[in-house]
Every structure is written in structure tokens, then in C-alpha cells.
Amino acid sequence: QVQLVESGGGLVQAGGSLRLSCAASGRTFSSYTMGWFRQGPGKERDFVAVITWSGRRTYYADSVKGRFTISRDNAKNTVYLQMNSLKPEDTDVYYCAADGPFLGERNSFNPNDYDYWGQGTQVTVSS
């Protein structure tokens, strides 16, 4: 079992930055692929970024590439999402998710592949 708790959301002006954190419980955090997704009212949950268990591989949605950076600290059981140059269209509830455990590097862009989810944190970008 993995429990996830997101933090770091808030209100920011366009062009600003936020860093989301996702703290995980469980001794095998380092074996999990970790993803960030976002969802607006009445919309589907969309892929934002993913990082494999080692941190060596990261992938991003085209809409955030070059602006967002996903990272992880396995010693702290935490995954981060650094969001720069924020736009109003980035406004959503952001969720972290865990998929695994895996022995090898694996990534997924499909939210249905993820077994564990946090409660979400609201990000609002004003114009």
C-alpha cells in the first residue's frame, strides 16, 4: 500500500511559478513509477508528467514541456513538480499517482494504469 499526500498548490499570477510536492508512505516508494495528472471540472484526468523509479527517465505532456519539471527524492519518499511560466490554462486540480512496484524502468501516460492516488491540490493561475 502507498498513501500519497500532495501539497504546494495555490493562486499565482500568469508567468509565475509553483512547486508541488507529493509525500508518499511505504517502504517501497523507490520501486514505483510516479506521475502527475490534472483535472478540471467536468473534464477527464489528463497526463502531465511521469518519472521512473530511478529518476533517470522523465516524460511530459506537450502542453507543459519546457515549463514543468518532475523530480523525485527517494530518500525522502517525495516527488516534485516544478511549474514555471504558468498560464491560466494550467488551472486545475493536480494529482500525484503511483504505479508499481517495478523491478525495471517503466512509465505510463494512462491514468488507468496507476494504482494509488493523492487527494489533489488546486492550482489557480490568474491572468
18: which strand partners? 83
Query: What does the pLDDT average to over 93-121?
Result: 93
Residue 47's DSSP bridge partners are: 37
Model confidence pLDDT, tens digit, residues 35-55 = 999 999 999 999 999 999 999
Reference 64, options 44, 34, 80, 85; nearest CA is 85
What's the rounded Cα separation, in Å, for the pair 20 and 50?
A: 14
Reported confidence tier of residue 23, pLDDT bands at 50, 70, 90: very high
Indicate if the pLDDT at residue 20 is higher than 80: yes
